Structure 1
Amino acid sequence: AGGIFETVENEPVNVEELAFKFAVTSINRNRTLMPNTTLTYDIQRINLFDSFEASRRACDQLALGVAALFGPSHSSSVSAVQSICNALEVPHIQTRWKHPSVDNKDLFYINLYPDYAAISRAVLDLVLYYNWKTVTVVYEDSTGLIRLQELIKAPSRYNIKIKIRQLPSGNKDAKPLLKEMKKGKEFYVIFDCSHGTAAEILKQILFMGMMTEYYHYFFTTLDLFALDLELYRYSGVNMTGFRLLNIDNPHVSSIIEKWSMERLQAPPRPETGLLDGMMTTEAALMYDAVYMVAIASHRASQLTVSSLQCHRHKPWRLGPRFMNLIK
């Protein structure tokens, strides 16, 4: 398996890379899934927004011979790697939210992240369930408007009024915005932002005296419950979010526990607002993605990888069959 992961200068290894290694190590240690096979991997690190470098590293990995390529996660680099994998018929696996405008006609592309339309519909269902008549939508960047489009289109079909506000970029000081919302008695608020931003916003909401039973906040991040929410527990505020990780399932909780133990032994990461050692949705999806490929390769006995050249359009002979097994 090949992994291409983005790194930012002076920042620790990203969580998807950690989860990728964690999954491979777990599979190799636990000999039940692949008793006679050892998974090997090659990891390449690239800079954010460097799609040329992403293409080059993908070609290097394909020349080594890989059964599937994981990552990168930034949209311009994703598209570059995606077109190469599609041409050479090697599965390309993603675990992050992806802009829907990149059409998914690519036969060798799999994304484990929930489809944006499903999340969008679920948010609208929630608003209808709570019977909110006025809602404020606060988004971090324009992709949030895509993720929430079912709700934004709602006033034409339902008796719902919607106010749309954007978070200030950069300095993350949302207090002036929150002050306006407080003045306008905007009690039902949907925040579309990363879990890191959500952690910051929650502190500022508390500071502004808006953590009371009058307010109901919904966060679209799938990692709301991975944040440290202890401070807000007894404030009377209503807070809702979706979670993909079913932590009540004993199999899932044992994996999360192993992950936490490993994370807590590692050097501490910079403050992200996450609970110590908590497995994020991104990490869990990467873990699942590696397992999915391992199970497919176990089922595809006699799977041999070939060295593929980007400049020669000679695809991987077993690619289509392997892709069907993954699906």
Structure 2
Amino acid sequence: MTLPRLALVPGEPAGVGPELCLRLIQQARDYDLVAFADARSLRAAADALGLPLTLLPPDRPSRAPGELALVDLPNALVPAFGQPEPRNAAAVIGALRAGAEGCLRGEFDGLVTGPVHKAVINEGGIAYSGTTELLAEQAGCEVVMLLANDIVRVGLATTHLPLRAVADAIEPVALTRTLRIIDAALRRDFGIAEPVIAVLGLNPHAGEAGHMGREEIEVIEPVMAALRAQGLTLVGPLPADTAFLPAKLRGFDAVLAMYHDQGLPVLKYSGFERAVNMTLGLPYPRVAVDHGTALDLAGRGLADPSSLIAAAETCARIARTRRSTSGGTP
């Protein structure tokens, strides 16, 4: 039985990413990891936390505690903990691209990523809006951001937009594409034969029959009706203030929120530590932590590795599901 082989990118070297990777590899694993990172940053994190680290060539399996196979991609310099350096921006982006390229070539079964610092990357002269967008452009495909924990999966119809722009962004073509991608991912990546997706309304009370806005009537409902006719199981549009009640959630495989802060506060409140960020629609599974670089915690041994551990476990599980449904060897 061939174990899933995952590419691991720690992210911002001055943040908690490297030490989270060190904590991740202290446990035995039923998947192989190959890190795309600067060996010096990993060793600095290991020294700061007093954790064992044995770096191996990238073609060597690394499953024992403390072992990590590495593609060494040196930063311009090793930053002090908590002090990101814009000159490292090219190396951070290069590591993401290299890990993703390995997935596109079939060398890896999935990509696991730590937190990056958007502002520092842009200060380094690289236009960067997010890893989700970078990976979608590299793969040449449309994607959806979905966050998940053990309680709920929440997809986003729009991601990082000001509220003034959200209503205009809820339009039929994009909404149709988003729901199709989520449905396909639930079937392929989670093995759900007939997924049920709850769709939230944009307005309070899902528009109150048009009295609080007409986006539900004019955009959301027609899209849902057309997709139901094509075999998708969609519930809604639902008022967001009651859709996340536990009794209702038990009947849904995922919830589509119309904007970032409509759905993600509920997910993070229900289980932030084990939450992960997934990019649906890529040719390979990509799972990331659901938190930032935590510069104030870097190098102190205080960062919680639960989200990165959950990300790696989720990515490996999806890789196995994809193999089994495609007839490959899990």
Question: Same-fold call, TM > 0.5?
Answer: no
Which is bigger in relative contact order (C-alpha 8 A, separation at least 6)? 2
Q: What TM-score, normalized by structure 2, do the two folds share? A: 0.30
